[in-house]
């Protein structure tokens, strides 16, 4: 018997699906562009869509449920690029800290 993986909802009641259009956040559009560039057959590709899917499907129940759709994508992209040696964990960590620092709210001056 084949065991159902956590993300596999096929045939299960998952509640209603919201069929409304929504505006994508800039980072979501960038994530989509990154995946398209990395998986473009004309330029390599550095990553295949099945690798993206595997990375998402390998997420455990805790992280899978905590992340949004595009957060799953970008986490999978990062993991695939680390697996392939394109980027390194410490390099990614430093870059994330730089981005956090740029977007951190300014501390309020003390009186």
Q: Which domains does the chain have, with CATH numbers?
A: 26-103 (1.10.472.20)
Q: Which residue has the tokens 């799953």?
A: 72
pLDDT at 5: 60
Whether residue 11 is predicted with pLDDT greater than 70 in this model: the reply is no
pTM: 0.76
Q: Band of the pLDDT at 6, cuts 50, 70, 90? A: low
Nearest to 5 by CA among 73, 76, 58: 58
Return the HEC string of the chain. CCCCCCCCCCCCCCCCCCCCCCCCCHHHHHHHHHHHHHCCHHHCCCCCHHHHHHHHHCCCHHHHHHCCHHHHHHHHHHHHHHHCCCCCHHHHHHHHHHHHHHHCCCCCCCC
> What's the mean pLDDT in 51-76?
91
Low-confidence winner among 14-23, 49-58, 96-105 (lowest mean pLDDT): 14-23
């Amino acid at each position: 018997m084949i065991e159902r993986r956590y993300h596999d909802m096929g045939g299960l009641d998952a509640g209603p699906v919201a069929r409304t259009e929504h505006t994508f956040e800039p980072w979501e559009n960038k994530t989509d562009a990154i995946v398209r560039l990395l998986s473009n057959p004309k330029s390599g590709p550095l990553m295949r869509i099945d690798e993206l899917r595997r990375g998402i499907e390998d997420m455990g129940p805790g992280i899978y449920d905590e992340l949004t759709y595009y957060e799953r994508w970008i986490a999978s992209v990062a993991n695939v690029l680390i697996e392939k040696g394109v980027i390194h964990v410490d390099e990614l960590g430093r870059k994330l800290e730089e981005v956090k620092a740029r977007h951190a709210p300014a501390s309020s001056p003390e009186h």
